[in-house]
Amino acid sequence: MTDAELTAALEQVLGIFGGSCGPGRMDVAHQAAGLKIWGGWHFVNHHIETPLFQEGKTIAMARHIYSIADSDDGQMALL
């Protein structure tokens, strides 16, 4: 996937705004605009806290976690 394709896919998955939390679980908030993801073992205040990932860092982490290759990258994988 190119960066543009991956960005579009992440925006679709993240949605306008959402998150999850619960007893004994990490609090997570996310938004498509800016591909921002917040997280913590406390109530995350997305208005004042810095996101853990945003924009290019979110794309890079998605590529790493899900092993998504960049079709625009001419370098062969060095496995």
Q: Which one, of 57, 23, 24, lies nearest residue 38 by Cα?
A: 57
Q: What is the pLDDT of residues 6-30, one digit of tens each?
A: 999 999 999 999 999 999 999 999 9
Q: Is the pLDDT of residue 60 over 80?
A: yes
For residues 18 and 28, the answer to whether their CB atoms sit within 8 Å is no
pLDDT at 69: 84
pLDDT at 71: 77
- 57 or 78: which carries more pLDDT confidence? 57
Instruction: Give me 24's structure tokens.
Output: 């004994």
Cα-based angle 5, 63, 34 (whole degrees, multiple of 5): 60
Q: In the predicted model, what is the mean pLDDT of residues 42-52?
A: 94
- Cα(71)–Cα(30) distance, integer angstroms: 26
pLDDT at 8: 95
Statement: the pTM of the whole predicted model exceeds 0.85: no
